[in-house]
Structure 1
Amino acid sequence: MVSVSVVVPIYNAIRTLPSHLGAIARLHPMPLEILLVDNGSTDGTLALLHDFARDHSSFGVKVLEEPRRGAAAARNAGFQAAKGDVIAFIDSDCTPEPTWLSHMSDPFRDPQVGAVAGRVVAAPPASIMELFSALHTLQLPDRPARSRRWTPWEGGYVTANLAVRRSLLVELNGIDENTVGGTGAGSDYELCARVYAADFEIVYVPQAIVFHHHRTTLPGMVRQAFDYGESHAYLISRKLTGGLWVDLPIRPLSWKGCPLHAWLDLASADKKVLAVMLLAILYGPALLLLIPYAVWLVVITDRRAMRFGSTVMLGGRVALAGLLLVKSFAMTLGRWWGSVKYGALCL
């Protein structure tokens, strides 16, 4: 069986660290070592990490301090100090199930597997903002998969729950710390693209579950959506030789032989609102179509919440629908900005 080093990038995580560290201590089997990489926290996080390392000295816990800002830099510092055959990345706002590592390590028996991705499930939300993020972020399938290439629609997995062969990380020079102007947004998908380029596969194991605590503030959600949108343009300009991917309300279409680097999401909520507004320029009463569309957004949002097991009052449903519009506008703005910066067509 391969040896596993767990690497956790951490920044001002005092809200989620107690549950995260408690879950790490309950892993079975335990990893070879646990590397907790503080990234300049100012909220008491570092003291909590040292307390955990002292109280669990038999677990091989190491606390590292990385002055270079960004989760990518913290992950690189952790993997460079690690000794295991496999580096299992997890975020400090995630709590793994006890069997997480056993599911993550099994596929590495196949030498063709360069990385293993697990499922990220939303933790029970405590606010409308957390519920919204749970409904519209990291919607991963419950079926296993084996990926051999990255495209806008497949093959991308997040480092909140990703294990990579250490030897492969060394060969790839670690995680790119300079994606999207140094923000690190998109660095996980960028890493996946390089894993495929090195002729390895990534296996998705839905049984390897971590529970994720989502963003709790509107500015944080908007900033994340903008950065992710910008990263989409960055990725298609740098990691694809060409192609056209179009998300339509009915079904997606692609033309992989197209010489363009283009990804058009015409199914997002903001694009539909924009389409109605453009139609209203030609025919003013068309603006009234926004009323049934707003009602439809409220209805489908409520259905999603019910499937998630949450009952939301009417005011909450309206808020969730509004947040969907805000997020989609922010992501489109990020894609537009990324298109200008990186020479792609991503909207």
Structure 2
Amino acid sequence: MVSISVVVPIYNAIRTLPSHLGAIARLNPMPLEILLVDNGSTDGTLALLHDFTRDHSSFGMKVLEEPRRGAAAARNAGFQAAKGDVIAFIDSDCAPEPTWLSHISEPLRDPRVGAVAGRVVAAPPASIMELFSALYTLQLPDRPARSRRWTPWEGGYVTANFAVRRSLLMGLNGIDENTVGGTGAGSDYELCARVYAADFEIVYVPEAIVFHHHRTTLPGMVRQAFDYGESHAYLISRKLTGGLWVDLPMRPFSWKGCPVHAWLDLASADKKVLSVMVLAILYGPALVLLIPYAVWLVVITNRRAMRFGSTVTLSGSVALAGLLLVKSFAMTAGRWWGSVKYGALCL
């Protein structure tokens, strides 16, 4: 097996660190080293890291401190200090299964494979907010895939569960720290695009599982959705030479020869609400259409929760529908802002 360095960017993660570190300690096989990169935490995280590494000195754990803010900067600090042939990134709110690294390493026997992505599964939610995030965030398939290019609809994987050859990452000058004002949002998809541009493939392995603890607060979810939306415009402007990509309610449509950089999501919940409101300006009674649409949102969010294995009350289903609207409006706002900022049409 190739030698693997695990790199974990960490910021104020006192809530999720115990389960994360416990899962890391149960990995089999163990990696060459585990680099825990604190990014300026103020909640006792750093002390917990030092205590844990002292008590588990045989595990090859090392605590690093990176003052430059942002997960991308922390990941770069970890990879630059790493010694393994492969850098396996995982977030501090994720807990890997014991066999995580064995699944990650297998595809890298193929020299055409530059990186491997694994599946991110929601940890059991403890609140409506966490349940909503579990239902509508990081929805990855359960079938393997082999990708050779990035587009708005394919080839993008998250660094919460992502391994890349160290030599390749060095040749790419690490992770882009400038996406979305240095927040790191979109840096994972941006890295995927550069891996493909370097003529490597990315293999998605659904058996390489980490369990993810999602956002627990409404402001955190809104901020994340806005940043993701802005990153979409950044990626369109930087990583596509042209093309029109349209998400429609029934099926997507693309025109790769279009000279305009454009990604239009016309299927999101907020766009449907806005469409009814525009129609109501022309014909006032059309506003009543918002009532059946609201009922439909409650029904579909409840069905999704049931498929996830959660029983939700009527008030809970209403809350889920409301959160879906809030998230979609926040993401569209981020896309609008990114379109102005980066000169790409992304709505």
- The Cα shift of 1:217 comes to 0.4
Deviations 1:206-265 (A, max 9, x none): 000000000000000000000000000000000001000000001000000100100000
Deviations 1:34-77 (A, max 9, x none): 00000011111111111111111111111000000000000000
Unpaired runs of 5+ residues, structure 2, are none
Task: Among all aligned residue pairs of Structure 1 and Structure 2, give the percentage whose two residues are the same amino acid.
Answer: 93
Q: Matched residue of 2:157: which SS?
A: coil
- The Cα shift of 1:303 comes to 0.2
- In structure 2, distance between residues paired with 1:279 and 1:308: 35
Hey, what does 1:55 align to over in structure 2? 55
Q: Matched residue of 1:210: which SS?
A: strand
- The Cα shift of 1:180 comes to 1.0
Q: Matched residue of 2:36: which SS?
A: strand
- In structure 1, distance between residues paired with 2:84 and 2:141: 29
Hey, what does 1:35 align to over in structure 2? 35
Hey, what does 1:23 align to over in structure 2? 23
- In structure 2, distance between residues paired with 1:229 and 1:149: 21
Q: Matched residue of 2:142: which SS?
A: coil
RMSD of aligned alpha carbons: 0.5
Tell me the matched-pair count: 347
Deviations 1:63-96 (A, max 9, x none): 0000000000000000000000000000000000
Q: Matched residue of 1:180: which SS?
A: helix
- The Cα shift of 1:297 comes to 0.1
Q: Matched residue of 1:119: which SS?
A: strand
Deviations 1:81-128 (A, max 9, x none): 000000000000000000000000110000000000000000000000
- The Cα shift of 1:328 comes to 0.2
- In structure 2, distance between residues paired with 1:95 and 1:179: 26
Deviations 1:11-49 (A, max 9, x none): 010000000000000000000000000001111111111
Hey, what does 1:94 align to over in structure 2? 94
- In structure 2, distance between residues paired with 1:128 and 1:256: 40
- The Cα shift of 1:181 comes to 1.2
Runs of 4+ residues over 4 Å off in structure 1: none
Q: Matched residue of 2:279: which SS?
A: helix
Q: Matched residue of 1:254: which SS?
A: strand
Deviations 1:257-304 (A, max 9, x none): 100100000000000000001111111111000000000000000000
- In structure 2, distance between residues paired with 1:164 and 1:53: 25
- In structure 2, distance between residues paired with 1:340 and 1:12: 32
- In structure 2, distance between residues paired with 1:282 and 1:10: 51
- In structure 2, distance between residues paired with 1:252 and 1:291: 26
Hey, what does 1:165 align to over in structure 2? 165
Q: Matched residue of 1:206: which SS?
A: strand
Q: Matched residue of 1:258: which SS?
A: coil
TM-score, normalized by length of structure 2? Answer: 1.00
TM-score, normalized by length of structure 1? Answer: 1.00
- In structure 2, distance between residues paired with 1:95 and 1:74: 19
